[in-house]
A and B are shown apart, each in its own frame.
Chain A
Amino acid sequence: MHDLDEHLPAILAGDLDAFGHWVAGAEPRLRASLRSFATLVDTEAVVQEAFLRVWQVAPRFVADGRPDGLLRLALRIARNLAVSERRRSRSSSADDEALERAQAGEVGERAPTDPLLRLMIEACRNGLPKKPAIALVARLESAGGEADDVLAGRLGMTKNTFLQNFTRARKLLLECLQRHGVDLRTELA
């Protein structure tokens, strides 16, 4: 795994594209570090808020000479956000050990950069039935920018039908990948 701090000079200069490259590399590890909080907080919201805060504080970030300094900061921000939300919801204790391991860099989930994998996913996506395919494309194109009821309305579907079509697309995609020897459980392990 390469050091994501290679993007640091450009990020410190306010380069949003460089921040995007950094986010692409950091997201799997950040998300994995929050697994123990999955029952306690909405981890998607925590991940997004943590990245926004990293961007806000990045200009003042000072590297300590060890690899992945900004990622370690992001993990701390995400952890603090999760703890804060956990306290707010008065939930029981979570597995802080997993977070410590994550902060120590032991969460080794990699970003999906394999071009062959990309081609395979694209081929499987192209083979989806029409309605599941348009539900999948709608979500991909919206990129988290619009709520499901908005996307559903645009496609002339109820929200429930839209989600059912999306679920079908997801499962068919997974089955197709498995038939071609790609097991996402292994990829994500």
Chain B
Amino acid sequence: MMPPEKPSHTEPLVEAVAGAWRARDPRGEIRFHPEWYDLDDRGRIEAYEVARASRFVEAALDPLGLSSTAKAVLARIRAR
């Protein structure tokens, strides 16, 4: 959960994109987060780094070592 060095005006967007929720298209493929398109390059890198650190912490907290990403993938497979 690594924050940027200083607060960014795009912080809520970064936080949203750094989450593991993603919508599906009608074919079932995972779509980009809608707010990813609103981020500039700096914001996208920030979102990537926040996600990387967040997934690390989530996995550390989970008894099976599963992050939100891993759980979302497994839930998707189970739902098929």
Please name all residues of chain A whose beta carbon is closer than 8 Å to the beta carbon of B18 when the two chains form the complex: 44
Q: Is the CB of A144 within 8 A of B65?
A: no
Q: Is the interface of B mostly helix, strand, loop or mixed?
A: helix
Q: Is the CB of B69 within 8 A of A27?
A: yes
Q: Is the CB of A163 within 8 A of B72?
A: no
Please name all residues of chain A whose beta carbon is closer than 8 Å to the beta carbon of B17 when the two chains form the complex: 42, 44
Q: Mark B4-43, 1 if CB is under 8 A from A, else 0.
A: 0000000110011111111100000111110010000100
Q: Of A1-9, A62-70, A97-105, A168-176, which binds chain B?
A: A168-176
Query: Contact residue range for chain B?
Result: 35 or more
Q: Is the CB of B45 within 8 A of A39?
A: yes
Please name all residues of chain A whose beta carbon is closer than 8 Å to the beta carbon of B11 when the two chains form the complex: 163, 167
Q: Mark B52-79, 1 if CB is under 8 A from A, else 0.
A: 1111111111001111111111111110
Q: Could you jot down 9 A-B contacts, CB within 8 Å?
A: A20-B70, A31-B69, A52-B77, A112-B56, A125-B61, A139-B68, A148-B19, A163-B11, A163-B15
